[in-house]
Amino acid sequence: MIQLILNKKNAQMTKLVLVTLLALCSLSTLAKTQNFSFTLNGTINTDSGLIRLMPIGGKEFYQTNLDSLKCLIVNKKFLITGSIQNSTAFMLRLEVNGELKYISGIFL
């Protein structure tokens, strides 16, 4: 008799835990997507030009604001700031006088 009561209590507790977990999972999908800020700075062996931060893959793989991250090189230095929602693979592209000069390897 005592074991039957304990089994009913365990079953009720298990149901309660499962319902709570399901509710929490549902709420987490409704949560606002968090953006992570970043800063990329460096020194390059050219006095001027343009550095572009290029995400790898099509727009279906990354948020649309990533295609416009670029900055001018001033005194061999560059600084790019922005925010991303997820881990994204990138390459750097160097343009001097509108001509492609260099593309980096892929990095995260």
Domain spans, the chain: 1-31, 36-103
Question: Per-residue pLDDT tens for 16-65?
Answer: 545 555 555 555 555 556 778 889 999 999 988 999 988 887 666 666 56
Q: Is the pLDDT of residue 73 over 90?
A: yes
Measuring CA to CA, how many Å separate 50 from each of 15, 84, 104? 59, 21, 14
- Identify the pLDDT of residue 62: 65
- Using only C-alpha atoms, the chain has a radius of gyration, in whole angstroms, of 25
Q: Under a CB-based contact definition with an 8 Å cutoff, are residues 50 and 99 in contact?
A: no
pLDDT at 6 over 60: no
- Is the per-residue pLDDT at 71 higher than 70? yes
